[in-house]
Chains A and B, each alone.
Chain A
Amino acid sequence: MRRYVLLGLVLALGLIMAVNAPVGGQRLGGKLIIAQGTDAESVDPINFTASPTASIMEHIIQTLVRLDIEDRDGQLETTPKGVLAESWSVSPDGKTWTFKLRSGIKFHDGTDLTADVVKLNLERALHPDCAAPFRGAVLGRLAYSPASATTGEVAKKNAIVWRANLLLGPEGNNVSVAITSGAALGVSVSGSAITVTAPAGTTAAAVIKAVNENAAANKLVWASNAPGSDGSGVVEPVAATRLAGFATSVEAPDASTVRINLASPFAPLLQHLAHTAATIVSAKRIREAIAAAPPCGKGLQDQVAGTGPFMLKEWKRGERMILVKNPNYWEKDAAGRPLPYVDELEWRVIPDDAARMIELERGTVHIAVRVPPLDVPRLQRDPNIVLDFTTSVRTIYIGMNVRERIPDKPDGAPNPLADKRVRQALNYCVDKEAIVKTIMGGQARVSDAPIVPQVFGYAKVGPYPFDPARAAALLREAGVTLPLKLKLHHPRGRYVRDVQIAQAVQAMLGTCRIEVELIPMEFVSFLALINKAPSEAEHQLYLLGWGTITLDADYGLYSLFHSSQWPPGPFNRGYYKNERVDALLQQGREEPDPAKRKAIYAEAQKLIWEDAPWIFSHSESQITGIRKNVKNAEVHVTERLILWKTWLE
């Protein structure tokens, strides 16, 4: 009997210890060192593009909601969880979203989180002049209300007094409204762009009158005087049905309520608000910054105040960034203890893969991202290192400029890639299996759709098999003179084995008598090069990756294949345009029924696959090296590290 009691006691003790293990075994404090390949570009939510930056930013500034992700047999299920928003509701017609903010949250600078702050942040992110990189992809769906920007501005500025890039024309293209001084007041419509010219000193009311009176412009925009303003006006979309998903405004009815009004239902709104581009910064910081440089602000790229678990302490660009614990952080762990556990995070920049791995193996860093796949077997043998394999939603592709001429103007050079058959030939000529096996060490997946299977709306439409004979036949059919010479711009050190992939593709295309010149570039200048209007763009082939981090096909397809998303700004960098695809992608945004959305996206992917605007290569997997004494470090599907619940043993 006593024996059983003892056994029971031991079992009970064991159970208690097991339950308490994550809390009981942890040590508080200490400094966690993370090595990434690239430095943060900025810490300003409207001024960044890459996920390594977002990974750091999300420790400092936070979004209204975040996506909790569960892997169900390869299909990732996302559940939006409140971060700064405690709860939310949507009106029966799906057009009004109301968010209740968590109470008692303070920014690092001591100010309170209120609905006004959220409104200010979202409006800044939507401001056309600020040209936030993700504005079109994420927040462009919420229309920027230009009333505040135009009030009194017309008379003040001399060059372009007013510009709005947020309206959709009948073709789905961006419409830019610009008022230029000097010329007589008039409206000209060229393609999808409206230009309003007016002499300096013209009031906005006069401009709006001109727009109203112009038949062509009138079809696209509806203009009215903003009530109670000084004659300045608001230009708003007229054809609301075409402009699905565009919020007409962000409101703050009381201190803890934020309301977003949409013109029509927009299914993935919560997913979009979970994007790092929709993080909330202290209003005090923003107002200071805007006062220094209206309307977007200056200095926020170097220092922000957020609500996150860590505060930015020191940033030596290109070297390291040090974050210190926010002692007043609002979130608590399951046992009610304050988060975060560690005192400091140090993000080190180590671009060289080999050097990053050596630091990890020596133990001078705790976590190293982007482990080269070929190093995996060696690191797995190391008893002090644990490798984390989290799927990624990033697709790697080689985009093609599909315009008739490069650059796309009458004296540009004829572009062989404008022919669908040539683009298909390139796809047949590249042996994706070999890339995955040889270069990625098997730690990747050959693309069979423009997006990955974990994303909602994915449909298997490929792959293009490796078939050089077919490629040669297609090239012959297209009447291409061989050898065909092409240029491939690619980044260096941004994606897993990016340089090696480019070299492999070059070698493969070489066997099909397509001579590719490689132009490796530093990532930020590479992005600038491919972010040009087609009439200025010189690029032919470009290697890029896209993470569909909202896990919804809309973010993965609309931004990359809709013809309204041509650069500068958005991400359709090969200037692909297919009217049917445009229509489908638009439908996908407006359709609330998930089953119908799936069907719509399946058709769109099939068409895109056939048109082959990319060489569809592979999707990456994330491999992160973590020292054994680091506990509970989470790697998110969207390529973010989550370290506020991490401790060191």
Chain B
Amino acid sequence: MINKTLVSRAEKSADEVTLVRRGTLWRRFRKSPSAMLGLTIVVLFMGAGLLAPWIAPHDPLRPDFGRAREGPSWDSPLGRDELGRDILSRIIYGARISLWIGFIAVAIGVVCGVPLGAISGYYGGRLDILMQRLVDIMLAFPGLLLAIVLISILGVGLSNVMVAIGVASIPTYVRLVRGSVLALREMDYIAAAKAIGMSDSRIIFRHILPNCLAPIIVQSTLQIATAILFAAGLGFLGLGAKPPMPEWGVMLSTGRDYLRDWPHIATFPGLAIMLSVLGFNLLGDGLRDVLDPRLRGKL
């Protein structure tokens, strides 16, 4: 009985601490111009993606062969592509696809990677060695290559791209969380929790993981950028989204053929990829600076 009250009181105070910190975090975040730029870009793209059906000026799939490869105009600010489809509308709809891939892939990575990392770090021993060797094997592959291998097993398609990129990011999370857990495991309050007979799962999920949250958030933000880039890369190679889907990588790939004479077809999707990746990276960096300054230069 006493144990329980003690613990719940400790949990409550931890929550209060977070609340207090939140205000200062925002103030610190706001001071960094690059972080704010990142946030702006991310919000812009997310807004475009969410509101795509309302803000896109044209149907992204409807061809207009009479206007194929037309340059930017008032009607089509970014011009028309090789089939006469409006590039701006396609980029807006493309934001939806890219962000969706980013979030789902990261969710897969987090949901699988974080518990595995925590278990590996918390229990240690043979299990840890075994898991870490597996992670070593997976990390030995470049991420994109691993994703391509997974795609060749799962087959081409958008949902498989999400799975492939998500799975490819699992080892990163395992490694990251395990490192944090290894440090936290030796803390006195964990020893105390163990001493009062708290279950392992409760210790991991209530006391260890909340304290690893900062690196996970930072990693996830950066991971979204990687996921968008990978998805575009896979789309470019014809392994991801398929035409006529307005996915940026696919658009870049088809536009490449016209690069010499009609550069706008490939340039704008390319810019969209670059900007969104830049946005998430800046945001991730900014978050890292405010959440966990010790991590600077480590991620």
Contact = CB atoms under 8 A, between A and B. Distances in A.
B30 interface: no
A28 B68 CA distance: 47
Contact of A510 (B66, B242, B244, B258): B244
Nearest to A521: B238
Residue among B85, B243, B259, B261 facing the most chain A CB atoms (10 A cut-off): B243
A438 to B, nearest CB: 4
B257 A354 contact: yes
Interface stretch (B57-65, B164-172, B218-226): B57-65
B207 interface: no
A434 B84 CA distance: 11
A58 to B, nearest CB: 30
A438 B257 contact: no
B86 interface: no
Interface stretch (A211-219, A258-266, A372-380): A372-380
Interface string A289-324: 000000000000000000000000000000000000
Nearest to A437: B65
B257 A507 contact: no
Contact of B260 (A378, A500, A507, A508): A378
B254 interface: yes
A503 B69 CA distance: 15
B82 interface: yes
**Chain B interface helix/strand/loop/mixed:** loop
A438 B254 contact: no
Contacts of B185: none
A438 B80 CA distance: 13
Contacts of A354: 256-257, 259-260
Interface residues of A, number: 25
B83 interface: yes
Interface in B77-134: 82-85
Given A504-B83, A520-B238, A372 B257 contact: yes
Nearest to A377: B261
Nearest to A504: B83
Contacts of B243: 503, 506, 518
Given A507-B61, A518-B243, A438 B83 contact: yes
A511 interface: yes
A595 B89 CA distance: 57
Contacts of B254: 499-500, 503
Given A375-B261, A378-B261, A507 B256 contact: no
A419 interface: no
A431 interface: yes
Contacts of B68: 438
Contact of A438 (B65, B244, B256, B260): B65
Contacts of A357: 260
21 contacts: A353-B257, A354-B256, A357-B260, A372-B257, A374-B258, A374-B261, A375-B261, A438-B68, A438-B82, A438-B84, A439-B82, A492-B238, A500-B82, A503-B83, A506-B243, A507-B62, A507-B85, A508-B63, A510-B244, A517-B242, A520-B238
Given A375-B260, A437-B65, A438-B82, 19 more contacts: A353-B257, A354-B256, A354-B257, A378-B260, A434-B66, A438-B68, A438-B69, A492-B238, A500-B82, A500-B257, A503-B82, A503-B83, A506-B243, A506-B244, A507-B83, A507-B244, A510-B61, A518-B243, A520-B238
